[in-house]
Amino acid sequence: MITPTTITNYNRTEEELEEFLMFAILVAGKGAEQQAKKLDAFLKHCMTKEKGKPFAHIKHLVSMGWLEIHMKQFKLGQYKRIGHAFKEILKFKGKLKKVTIEQLESVKGIGSKTARFFILHSRPDAKVAVLDTHILKWLNEKGYKVPKATPPKNRYAEIECYFLAEAMFHQMTPADLDLTIWKSYATKAK
Domains of the chain: 1-123 (1.10.340.30), 127-190 (1.10.1670.10)
- List, as one string, the DSSP characters of 68-124: HHHHHHTT---HHHHHHHHHHHGGGTT-TTT--HHHHHTSTT--HHHHHHHHHTT-T
Q: What is the average pLDDT across 30-57?
A: 85
Give the Cα separation of 123 and 125 in Å (integer). 6
pLDDT in tens, 96-123: 999 999 999 999 999 999 999 999 999 9
Instruction: Check if the beta carbon of residue 50 is closer than 8 Å to that of residue 160.
Output: no
Nearest to 43 by CA among 19, 79, 76: 19
Residue range 46-71: mean pLDDT, rounded: 87
The answer to whether 153 touches 105, Cβ cutoff 8 Å, is no
Condensed to tens digits (0 to 9), the pLDDT of residues 62-81 reads: 999 999 999 999 999 999 99
Stated as kind and residue range, the H or E segment containing 173 is none
SS3 147: coil
Q: How far apart are CA 87 and CA 185, in angstroms?
A: 33
CA–CA distance, 179 with 161 (Å, rounded to integer): 17
Q: Which pTM was predicted?
A: 0.92
* pLDDT reading at 48 higher than 90: no
Whether the CB-CB separation of 6 and 36 falls below 8 Å is answered with: no
Tens of pLDDT, residue by residue over 3-19, are 988 999 999 999 999 99
